Amino acid sequence: MSDSNGTLVALMWIVTVALTILAGVISWNMINPDGFFSFIGFLAVWSALSSLGHLLAIAIAGWIDRL
């Protein structure tokens, strides 16, 4: 593995952690859970937004890797 691939992997770890936190904040503000079922809805929305963000990050990393 070359240094550029190692750098890309490290950057992807940082981006995925940031996207997970950002998805959690956005989900919390959208749902604003105040009970058990609204908290379950928050977890579902957080999971969906986080997954979409990760897919986007993987697609961008693949595009960068091809350059």
pLDDT of 1 reads 47
What does the buried/exposed string (b/e) look like for 9-42 if buried means 16 or more CB atoms within 10 Å of the residue's CB? eeebeebbeebbeebbeebeeebeeeeeeeeeeb
pLDDT in tens, 1-42: 456 677 878 888 898 999 999 999 999 999 999 999 999 999
What residues does each domain of the chain span? Answer: 3-66
Higher pLDDT, 33 or 64: 33
Q: Which two tokens stand for residue 53?
A: 């963000």
